[in-house]
Amino acid sequence: MQRIEKSGFQYPNLIVNSILFTFEDVLGLNGLNTALKFAGLSELVNNYPDSNLEFGADFADISSLFQSIEEIYGIRGSHALLTRAGRRILVSYRDKFAPLMTFYNLELKPLSHEERIKHGLDYIIKMLTQTGNQEVSSFDTKDAIIYQITNCSICFGRPKVDHAVCHMTAGIIQEALNWVSEGKEYQVLETACMAKGDPYCEFRISKESVISSKA
Ligand SMILES: [Zn+2]
């Protein structure tokens, strides 16, 4: 496949490091190496950035990896893999920053259920989009919270397709909701995506939980 041209926007190494280790987990080392080579990213094979806060990989490197995963595993297969990877990335972030996250959780505790969800999501989505001119706006409808992300790093430069591709973001949001709601599951849909030609990527999060893992 054609590697996506550099965007000039970079991720902190820590994020790229945790994305690559998570995919090593989800795809296996051989699977990840195949996807990296297919994406034209051989320089990252067995050579991940350190987990520091310096700026390293370009947005286009990561979106090239996601494109490669979709071409190798198909639309449905990659949807499942990328959602799972997104959830795991948040779990590993939570483990890595356990004291900070525990503190944050205590701050959320006194809030109402709906406020907790809103604040928790704002925190996670801001963390995801703090670099590269990404902008986030959000609003509420009667039964959903809507987030819109412009200049989305996840689908940066992806070839135009007829379906949404930012499944990793949806997975991260699902896991964030599970965390702030203490074990509940919510439906998260990507209802617009820049890869489809939309002006932003939009995520619709239903306010009503679907399943409780504690039930
Ligand atoms: Zn998208």
Question: What tokens appear for 123 in the block?
Answer: 């925190």
> How far does the centroid of ligand 1 lie from the alpha carbon of residue 169, in Å?
8
Sequence-distant (6+) residues with CB within 8 A of 124 are 90, 172, 173, 176
> How far does the centroid of ligand 1 lie from the alpha carbon of residue 103, in Å?
31
> How far does the centroid of ligand 1 lie from the alpha carbon of residue 111, in Å?
31
> How far does the centroid of ligand 1 lie from the alpha carbon of residue 183, in Å?
26
Domain 10-212 has CATH 3.90.1150.10: no
- Give residue-wise pLDDT tens across range 123-139: 888 888 888 778 899 99
> How far does the centroid of ligand 1 lie from the alpha carbon of residue 82, in Å?
12
> How far does the centroid of ligand 1 lie from the alpha carbon of residue 188, in Å?
13
Average pLDDT, the chain: 90
**Spatial distance between the Cα atoms of 52 and 18, rounded to a whole number of angstroms:** 11
> How far does the centroid of ligand 1 lie from the alpha carbon of residue 180, in Å?
24
Higher pLDDT, 142 or 213: 142
- Give residue-wise pLDDT tens across range 142-191: 999 999 999 899 999 999 999 999 999 999 999 999 988 888 999 999 99
Calculate mean pLDDT across residues 51-55: 87
Phi, psi (rounded to 5 degrees) for 81? -65, -45
> How far does the centroid of ligand 1 lie from the alpha carbon of residue 89, in Å?
18
